[in-house]
Amino acid sequence: MTDTLLIFHFIGLMLGAGGGLGSTVVMGYARSLPTEQAEPVRAVGPTLARMSTVGLVLMLLTGVALIAFKYGGFDAMPLMFWIKLVFAGTLTLAVILIEVTYARMAKGNAKAAEMLPRFGPVAGISALAAVVFAALAFH
């Protein structure tokens, strides 16, 4: 059971990282293009963000299940786990803000797009820090 949960946890990590990194690359490339060429490229952003969100939700669900089944609950978790959890929280908040921003943009709020360059780095740094502290917590 825990092996299956861990596999799906890592699949969530792959989806989250792939969506986040893909979005960063695509949006960076779109900035170098003329406006009429950039719009179709930017249209991929919400799909990549959704892929990343699905990965994060999968990781959160399987992470809680792993803690319950493998470790018997949160009481046995080391300090590095709790630090990881802080970064998982900031990542979750950033992903929610990115989803809300894309929803506002879909409703015609072009000004909302100005926030994406702020949320993306927070999500990326939080994800990286969460992985580092997860490795330290569970090695």
**What is the span of the domain harbouring residue 92?**
2-138
Q: Is the pLDDT of residue 80 over 90?
A: yes
The percentage of residues in the chain with a pLDDT greater than 90, rounded to a whole number, is: 55
- Which amino acid, one-letter code, is at 112? A
Number of domains the chain is built from: 1
Residues 6+ apart with CB under 8 A from 45: 23, 26, 27, 102, 116
Confidence tier at 139 by pLDDT (50, 70, 90)? confident
Give the Cα separation of 66 and 44 in Å (integer). 33
Radius of gyration from C-alpha coordinates of the chain: 17
Give the Cα separation of 51 and 15 in Å (integer). 6
Cβ(135)–Cβ(84) below 8 Å? no
Residue that is written with structure tokens 């293009």 in the block: 33
- Enter the pTM of the model: 0.85
Question: Which among 61, 31, 65 is positioned nearest to 45, based on CA atoms?
Answer: 31
Residues 6+ apart with CB under 8 A from 137: 77, 78, 80, 81, 83, 84
Confidence tier at 45 by pLDDT (50, 70, 90)? confident
Convert the pLDDT of each residue in 46-66 to its tens digit.
898 899 999 999 999 999 999
Give the Cα separation of 68 and 137 in Å (integer). 16
Question: Which among 92, 129, 123 is positioned nearest to 23, based on CA atoms?
Answer: 123
